[in-house]
Amino acid sequence: MTVLRKNLIDGEWLGEAGSRNINPSNTNDIVGEYASAGPEQAKQAIAAAKAAFPAWSRSGPLARHAVLKKTSDEIMARKDEIGRSLAREEGKTLAEGVGETIRAAQIFDFFAGETLRLSGEMVPSVRPGVGVEMTREGVGVVGIITPWNFPIAIPAWKVAPALAYGNTIVFKPAELVPESAWTIVDILHRAGLPKGVLNLVMGKGSVVGQAMLDNPDVNAISFTGSVSTGKRVAAASVEHMRKFQLEMGGKNPLVVLDDADLAVAVDCAVNGAYFSTGQRCTASSRLIVADGIHDRFVDAIKERLDKLVIGDALDAKTQIGPVVDQTQLKQDEDYIAIGRQEGAELAFGGDRLERGAPGFYLQPALFVGSTNAMRISREEIFGPVANVIRVKDYDEALAVANDTPFGLTSGICTTSLKHATHFKRNSEAGMVMVNLPTAGVDFHVPFGGRKGSSYGPREQGRYAMEFYTTVKTAYTFAG
């Protein structure tokens, strides 16, 4: 019997079935049925969060610590079960699903610790007898809107700091992957959150998301998703003078210089461009390769791609799972056609694959002979598609790497300390990797980019405080 997962509003599980969660590895497999909230339920959730804010924002650090620590402990204890469910609904491999689940547990553990490290400042005033205190307080009701590509890690790195710093939440996960989101909400609810502090409203973005944008009682919105939707979040937030934080697209470069260790460069490129089926905003979608190593690099990449195992995400042997759904598969295929039309050479892959069950399988694609002016070099594809851009030297590589409307992450493979140091300083990205894949970041340090990739304070680590708190300055005259 198919399980029905309901929305959590003001401490109660509510709603009727509205959508089905389909396994992209096997479209005959129904993961579950999920309630779909309408505008009225979204309004109720916001009202509940508003009502719960005064008490939760003034709760003691031990109360918040207990909830977040219990949540971390349960996620870690159930990592294999939750990771398997994540792989089943999103299509990333079982190993990646478990790894992402562990990361979510680590995030909740980190922010449990942050509740005990809250601090402020006290300084003397320029006026005799006056003391000045600077403290941080929660901003209020936070709307959280998350994407489908990291179904548990991204919700974790938004929900955990929001709760740690005393905010209440209205949470709308992506429709494609509701199970992982429902699971962490269920765990937090059972860990002892007071009613109304965390509200889950699954449903369509055009309905639930819009209701959140239109409501003046939402004091801040943290959004991860497309550039077009991010711009709508920004415009609506300015209308209500609310805080907003945006994580959007990427067209990330991996520079490979002549002096690079070829094996390291190939590992970085294949991992960054193709693992998680290329469905990462940090993916290495532009491989910028110096002339002297270009041919050897391309041959080695093709050899590695030919050996990759593409299959059911739940099969332990699988290295690349399916694309998340039919819409994303079509987008990937459309961009492969565009690349060919623009004159790039499809050197490997790009074909649909048949496996034991019906699913959205795509052979990883590699273009060569591309330029940075092509659409496949300018627009985010969000699939297992990468293109090689040939350059003559480091200076041209840096210029091409920075010639993009995005600026999330970048990477360089080199054995030159001089070039590595210069690249770290001059790459126009929020995160820079040296001899590492562009995808893959730690949970305790800031995440975010520049230009069209990000807006607002960084996510993760202690830097999350900048978004989820507001500063208060208090003066006291002792008399």
Q: Which tokens hold the place of 41?
A: 């339920």
Assess whether 380 carries a catalytic annotation.
Answer: no
The pLDDT confidence band at residue 55, using thresholds 50, 70 and 90, is very high
317-352 tens-digit pLDDT: 999 999 999 999 999 999 999 999 999 999 999 999
Q: In one letter, which amino acid is 127?
A: R
Residues in the chain: 479
Q: What is the pLDDT of residues 131-190, one digit of tens each?
A: 999 999 999 999 999 999 999 999 999 999 999 999 999 999 999 999 999 999 999 999
Q: How confident is the model at residue 478 (pLDDT cuts 50, 70, 90)?
A: confident
Two structure tokens written together for 243: 């805080």
CB 35 within 8 A of CB 176: no
Q: Which of 33, 281, 380, 413 is catalytic?
A: 281
CB within 8 Å of 216: residues ≥ 6 apart: 240, 242
Query: Over the stretch 189-203, which tens digit does the pLDDT of each residue have?
Result: 999 999 999 999 999
User: What is the percentage of the chain residues whose pLDDT exceeds 70?
Assistant: 100
Q: Could you report the per-residue pLDDT of 74-108, keeping only the tens digit for each?
A: 999 999 999 999 999 999 999 999 999 999 999 99
Query: What digits encode the pLDDT tens for the residues 3-44?
Result: 799 999 999 999 987 889 999 999 999 999 999 999 999 999
Residues 6+ apart with CB under 8 A from 102: 76, 79, 83
Residue 247 catalytic? yes
State the pLDDT at residue 94: 98
What DSSP state is assigned to residue 148? S
**At residue 448, does pLDDT exceed 70?**
yes
Cα separations in angstroms, 40 against 9, 45, 168, 222, 473:
11, 9, 19, 21, 38
Angstrom distance (rounded) from CA 325 to CA 302: 26
Lateral strand order in the sheet of 168-172: 12-14, 7-9, 198-200, 168-172, 141-145, 220-224, 243-247, 454-455
Q: Does residue 312 contact residue 359 with C-beta atoms inside 8 Å?
A: yes
Per DSSP, the three-state class of 37 is coil
pTM as predicted: 0.96
- The residues, ordered by sequence, that sit 6+ positions from 77 with a Cβ below 8 Å of its Cβ are none
- Given phi > 0 = left and psi -120 to 50 = alpha, else beta, which region is 179? alpha
Provide the H-helix boundaries in 343-416: 375-378, 394-402
Find the catalytic residue in 74, 90, 179, 247: 247
